Amino acid sequence: MSVTFLPETVQLIVCVVLFWIGYGSVTGLLATLLVPHCKLGAWKTLVCGAMGSTLGPFILSQFVFTTEKVNPLHPCVLLVSVACSVVLLWIYRLMLLRAVLETRMTDTENRVSSGTPPTPMER
């Protein structure tokens, strides 16, 4: 029975992808703990954390550690990644709130134009 191994480059790519998925999950979970009343699903938490953990090291490499290579396991990078994820969560919540308010305003305008009396919540 022979065992087939993947080439080294494929193994390296798989390890890097799995690392960033785990790192993004931790970053997203920490960010959702810091933002009050934020209940995201697993996928949204992962995506938010992955985006924050990509933006954090990028920001640090461009503005702070310009001469050094950024190590994602450094505590400073983790803090900036969580901060980026928190900002992304706030942006997401503002977009969601705006969509809800626009829907309510459209519903109210439709009721007014059709002659339906407003509900007690709209008064």
CA distance 62 to 20: 20
Do 85 and 28 form a contact (C-beta atoms < 8 A)? yes
- Residue 73 Cα to chain centre, angstroms: 19
In the chain, domain spans: 8-114
CA distance 111 to 40: 32
Per-residue pLDDT of the chain (123 residues; tens, 9 = 90+): 566 677 888 888 888 888 888 888 889 899 888 887 777 788 888 888 888 888 888 888 888 877 777 777 778 888 999 999 999 999 988 888 777 777 777 766 666 666 666 666 655
CB atoms within 10 A of CB 114: 7
pTM, entire model: 0.71
25 membership: H or E segment, kind and range? helix 8-34
